[in-house]
Structure 1
Amino acid sequence: MPYNIAMVSDFFFPQSGGIESHIYQLSSKLIDRGHKVIIITHAYKGRTGVRYLTNGLKIYHVPFFVIYRETTFPTVFSFFPIFRNIVIREQIDIVHGHASLSSFCGEAILHARTMGLRTVFTDHSLFGFADAASILTNKLLKFTLSDVDHAICVSHTCKENTVLRASLDPLMVSVIPNAVVAENFCPLSHSSRAPDQIPISPADPRPSPTPIGPDDTITIVVISRLFYNKGTDLLIAAIPRILSSNPNTRFIIAGSGPKAIDLEQMLERNVLQDKVEMLGSVRHEEVRDVMVRGHIYLHPSLTEAFGTVIVEAASCGLYVVCTRVGGIPEVLPQHMTTFAKPEEDDLVVATSKAIAALRSNKVRTDRFHDQVKMMYSWRDVAERTERVYQGIIGDISPSEFYGYYPGQGWDASGDRVRSFALIDRLKRYYGCGVWAGKLFCLCVVIDFLIFVFLEMWFPRGNIDIARSWPKKRPAEKSSTRPIRSSRS
């Protein structure tokens, strides 16, 4: 059965990143599977109102005040009127929020439950438990997820983190990883071959690549936002030592952020401008062109729930050096990666080992693309997400969705099928803390009163229903060029 789905997050194109790419690719594949999908995000510079992307994907750019890193100012209630208007116009069945730090996401889940809609939340990040910022974030996440129907995490480490932070039932959290469009991240060796020459299986025989000689230059690529949590300080400390111990080595660094000035100062102090090329911010469609210029991809992140960029790098035929943090060890098999502790000394040693492995031809990077193509697929991600929708809507039984273990003595439905009754919702929020629980209940009551007011003074009959994007038959699709971008 097709569903009308609203993806809600502060993070979407034209800003580039893993969350933005995940939302776009997942939405596109769900549309291919017959569902209607819209995206609700805030207005970006030069992008306001309603936009259409390829395949009829509609984006609502809502004008809201942005405070930090493309996150809107949290107002709790002011988003409700326009959100209700969009949901009624598009006849939405399911609201799917993305990212813990997205104000739009948290508010949309609250308003959707007040309107009697099913909700799903996808967590893309890891957070701690000790510092003040993490404590506040975790309490807000607890507020957001106390009444959500189901949660999705991109790795098992991310699931464990989210379950602990939000005190969730583990059976209400599914693990669905990110993926890549492998065809968009082909190594140069694939670009020069005809499609019928590309091997079907990584076990197919293929001539060994030309080994890298001791005097050949090895290029190390880094593509990342230049923030503290992405390990930029670690990268700044390690680059001079890596270049000193491996003379025939150079770096290409793409990305922008507040740590860019520290990186430039390090290059000036050590006079490494001829060894390190800084490209600044690059668009997502340009990432492959940057990656294929290198041999090794270096990912020094301090925290990461999944790390889509390392899958893209492996697909481009790069050997990956990354820190053993978060969900990164779950992403790629060991023969594609060299792991390091998030420490300067260990990162330098791991990078030097990777360089030595490439020079001795011990690593067959020419096989990586075909292996990644078999491991990760957005179609598989969409199918698994669709099953979550079926579970919360009730198209599959609770025992089939959550699992049933004979003799365990628990009801498969239990409290996992969330009731929309206000008293039941207040019970769930009241357990969030001595003071926080009462504050959360007050927010829910106010939200309900606002909803009643809107229903009375702005009835649904006065809201025009938007026409769905016309679907073409497969024969018509093959002869029609896709629409790139338009306004309405």
Structure 2
Amino acid sequence: MNKPRQQHQPNRRHRIAMVSDFFYPRLGGVEMHIWSLSHALLRLGHKVVVITHAYNCPNLNNADTGHDRINGTGSNNVKSKRTGVRYLPGGLKVYYIPFLPMVDEDCLPTFTTSLPIIRWILIREGIEIVHAHQATSTLANEAVVYAAELGLASVYTDHSLFGFDDVAGVVLNRVLKATMSTVSGAICVSHTCRDNFILRAHLPPSIVHVIPNAVDPSKFVPDPSKRREDRITIVIISRLVYRKGIDLLTSLIPPICHQYPQVHFLIGGDGPKKLCLEEMVEKEHLEHRIQFLGCVPHSQVNDVLVQGHVFLNVSLTESFCIAILEAASAGLYVVSTNVGGVPEVLPEDMVELCEVDVDSLVGGLGRVIEKIDGSSNSVVDPWKFHERIKDCYSWERVAVETVDVYDLVYDKSRLSLLERLRRYRTVGGIAGYVVCLLDITLHFVVLLIEWWQPRHLIDVVPDLQMEKAVVTTSDKKGVPS
């Protein structure tokens, strides 16, 4: 675990663009990381905007229109497109650019189609640093390349682990090696993630930093009164997909239920593997022992966690796993597969690590159940768990350490065209020449756009976020702004 760090007020305020295909209204680890980090940076006085693609989402506010009432249709059937500029709570400005995703909320790679609008946003907002997130995001990879061409500093955060022996991994790693050739600095959420990323992207270790994820402790607070005294509740909140180990879970639940009659399961989440779980429940006649909650909004996750005694994570791969951090903050003991960066998250007395097989998970979960059941729950003090997480993990700390990275990349000299071509040449034999040709093409496309849409014709918006932060800081110090 990390040691507490003193509060920090930056001397230099940056203008940052967070770029990723994955953002609200989609919910997940990457999305919550961008959301939380952006707000923490805003509180420190930096300017932050988010660039993502348009989303189709339910129109919860204006769905119940007169037309719908006349036709007898419910509000759940009405959807809207989240596009254009939106201001989210906390003053975060988001550009939902009008591109639709190809698959899994990821845009189709276009090479230069997104360049004019992203360039326009970067100039309009006076952006100095482009911060891209997630290797599988098309917008993120393109933004790093565009930043180098536009003379901006760039930072990339890697959130996942990828292999080297499957087709998808090989292709993604080759793309990542090309797009990361000109990145100014990189951040990984764990040391395991850092080692994996350096090998995949072939970057010098000196520019790759480790900044762990965090949790907002005010949103994950224990409430032991919500627990049932006559049972031990095991909570699982996860996307129900193969990567999250749902096949292991399907084989794990029956022996645990048969061996420990006092155990019940709460399963939150949705996905293609939910059917396998439902078939298992029906086959084993466990309908009264297992409750499916469906997709749980992030605002309601704590309400589910506080009902449990144990949080179970059976993922096959994790770079960090913020879910177990949230569970520990809510006062739950954690049982998890020993994969990726999971061992770096919690101390030994707060987590039971198991191998990625059913027997190990059954044994580990059984030991925790017996420990909790045999000691009248004294083995876990929910409030002590919460306070320990609160002392060691915070988004303010993540923001401060991220600003340190921003300071480093901002002071670096920008790469010229020839320097970029030399780096792209190292991608590989034939691939290196192809990437160089693409970058030369991109260079002339940028010159064409500069002629077609000159910078001086783009209105630059005032830095209201930074001005407000300056006033707030000055008021706290008791001096005029």
Which TM-score bucket, shorter chain as reference?
0.7 to 0.9
Q: Could you tell me which residue of structure 1 aligns to residue 62 of structure 2? A: none
Q: Tell me how far apart the structure 1 counterparts of residues 381 and 134 of structure 2 sit (CA, whole Å).
A: 33
Give the C-alpha shift of residue 418 in structure 1. Answer: 5.8
Give the C-alpha shift of residue 477 in structure 1. Answer: 9.9
Q: Is the 8 A contact 1:8 1:96 kept in 2?
A: yes
Letter of the aligned partner of 2:271 in structure 1? G
Give the C-alpha shift of residue 265 in structure 1. Answer: 1.6
Confirm whether residue 369 of structure 1 aligns to residue 386 of structure 2: yes
Give the C-alpha shift of residue 365 in structure 1. Answer: 3.0
Q: Is the 8 A contact 1:127 1:161 kept in 2?
A: yes
Letter of the aligned partner of 1:364 in structure 2? V
Q: Could you tell me which residue of structure 1 aligns to residue 25 of structure 2? A: 14
Q: Could you tell me which residue of structure 2 aligns to residue 63 of structure 1? A: 98
Letter of the aligned partner of 1:9 in structure 2? S
Confirm whether residue 328 of structure 1 aligns to residue 347 of structure 2: no
Q: Is the 8 A contact 2:153 2:414 kept in 1?
A: no
Query: Of 378, 382, 390, which residue of structure 1 is paired with 2:399?
Result: 382
Query: Of 217, 221, 245, which residue of structure 2 is paired with 1:231?
Result: 245
Segments of structure 1 that go 5 or more residues without pairing to the other structure are 193-209, 395-416, 479-488
Question: Secondary structure at 2:429's aligned position in 1?
Answer: coil
Q: Tell me how far apart the structure 2 counterparts of residues 289 and 337 of structure 1 sit (CA, whole Å).
A: 21
Q: Tell me how far apart the structure 2 counterparts of residues 343 and 246 of structure 1 sit (CA, whole Å).
A: 20
Q: Could you tell me which residue of structure 2 aligns to residue 174 of structure 1? A: 209
Q: Could you tell me which residue of structure 1 aligns to residue 419 of structure 2? A: 424
Q: Report Cα offsets for 1:404-423 as digits up to 9, x if no partner.
A: xxxxxxxxxxxxx4642101
Q: Could you tell me which residue of structure 1 aligns to residue 116 of structure 2? A: 81
Q: Could you tell me which residue of structure 1 aligns to residue 264 of structure 2? A: 250
Query: Of 148, 152, 160, which residue of structure 1 is paired with 2:195?
Result: 160
Q: Tell me how far apart the structure 2 counterparts of residues 339 and 477 of structure 1 sit (CA, whole Å).
A: 48
Q: Tell me how far apart the structure 2 counterparts of residues 97 and 418 of structure 1 sit (CA, whole Å).
A: 19
Q: Tell me how far apart the structure 2 counterparts of residues 426 and 268 of structure 1 sit (CA, whole Å).
A: 60
Give the C-alpha shift of residue 54 in structure 1. Answer: 2.2
Question: Secondary structure at 2:214's aligned position in 1?
Answer: coil
How does 1:178-189 map onto structure 2 within 5 Å?
178-189=213-224
Q: What is the RMSD computed on CA atoms of the aligned residues?
A: 1.8
Query: Of 96, 109, 114, which residue of structure 1 is paired with 2:131?
Result: 96
Question: Secondary structure at 2:251's aligned position in 1?
Answer: helix
Aligned residues: 435
Give the C-alpha shift of residue 267 in structure 1. Answer: 1.4
Q: Is the 8 A contact 1:149 1:418 kept in 2?
A: no
How does 1:9-158 map onto structure 2 within 5 Å?
9-45=20-56, 46=80, 47-158=82-193
Give the C-alpha shift of residue 468 in structure 1. Answer: 3.1
Question: Secondary structure at 1:122's aligned position in 2?
Answer: strand
Q: Could you tell me which residue of structure 2 aligns to residue 290 of structure 1? A: 304
Q: Is the 8 A contact 1:319 1:365 kept in 2?
A: no
Q: Tell me how far apart the structure 2 counterparts of residues 460 and 119 of structure 1 sit (CA, whole Å).
A: 20
Q: Could you tell me which residue of structure 2 aligns to residue 399 of structure 1? A: none
Q: Report Cα offsets for 1:296-353 as digits up to 9, x if no partner.
A: 0000000000000100000000000000000000000000001110101111111111
Q: Is the 8 A contact 2:52 2:94 kept in 1?
A: yes
Q: Report Cα offsets for 1:87-115 as digits up to 9, x if no partner.
A: 01101000000001000000011011100
Q: Cα 1:96–1:475, aligned 2, differ >3 Å: closer, same or farther?
A: closer
Question: Secondary structure at 1:184's aligned position in 2?
Answer: coil
Q: Is the 8 A contact 1:56 1:469 kept in 2?
A: no
Q: Report Cα offsets for 1:414-457 as digits up to 9, x if no partner.
A: xxx46421011000010111121112112211111110000011
Segments of structure 2 that go 5 or more residues without pairing to the other structure are 1-11, 57-79, 477-481
How does 1:276-315 map onto structure 2 within 5 Å?
276-315=290-329
Q: Tell me how far apart the structure 1 counterparts of residues 475 and 95 of structure 2 sit (CA, whole Å).
A: 25
Q: Tell me how far apart the structure 2 counterparts of residues 265 and 71 of structure 1 sit (CA, whole Å).
A: 31
Give the C-alpha shift of residue 55 in structure 1. Answer: 2.6
Give the C-alpha shift of residue 475 in structure 1. Answer: 9.2
Q: Tell me how far apart the structure 2 counterparts of residues 55 and 4 of structure 1 sit (CA, whole Å).
A: 17
> TM-score by structure 2 length?
0.88
> TM-score by structure 1 length?
0.86
Q: Is the 8 A contact 1:153 1:174 kept in 2?
A: yes
Q: Tell me how far apart the structure 1 counterparts of residues 474 and 233 of structure 2 sit (CA, whole Å).
A: 45
Letter of the aligned partner of 2:55 in structure 1? Y
Percent identical pairs in the alignment equals 46
Confirm whether residue 449 of structure 1 aligns to residue 444 of structure 2: yes
Letter of the aligned partner of 1:82 in structure 2? I
Q: Tell me how far apart the structure 1 counterparts of residues 379 and 349 of structure 2 sit (CA, whole Å).
A: 7
Q: Is the 8 A contact 1:28 1:55 kept in 2?
A: yes
Give the C-alpha shift of residue 476 in structure 1. Answer: 11
Query: Of 325, 331, 334, which residue of structure 2 is paired with 1:317?
Result: 331
Query: Of 463, 473, 476, which residue of structure 1 is paired with 2:458?
Result: 463
Give the C-alpha shift of residue 392 in structure 1. Answer: 0.9
Q: Is the 8 A contact 2:145 2:179 kept in 1?
A: yes
Q: Report Cα offsets for 1:140-174 as digits up to 9, x if no partner.
A: 11112111000000000000000011111111100
Give the C-alpha shift of residue 364 in structure 1. Answer: 2.6
Letter of the aligned partner of 1:299 in structure 2? N
Question: Secondary structure at 2:151's aligned position in 1?
Answer: coil
Greater alpha carbon shift after TM alignment, 357-366 vs 440-449:
357-366
Q: Report Cα offsets for 1:361-415 as digits up to 9, x if no partner.
A: 2623321000100110111100000000101112xxxxxxxxxxxxxxxxxxxxx
Q: Cα 1:475–1:447, aligned 2, differ >3 Å: closer, same or farther?
A: closer
Q: Is the 8 A contact 2:55 2:100 kept in 1?
A: no
Greater alpha carbon shift after TM alignment, 129-138 vs 66-75:
66-75
Letter of the aligned partner of 1:69 in structure 2? D
Q: Could you tell me which residue of structure 1 aligns to residue 65 of structure 2? A: none
Q: Tell me how far apart the structure 2 counterparts of residues 469 and 275 of structure 1 sit (CA, whole Å).
A: 54
Question: Secondary structure at 1:162's aligned position in 2?
Answer: helix
How does 1:171-210 map onto structure 2 within 5 Å?
171-189=206-224
Letter of the aligned partner of 1:243 in structure 2? C
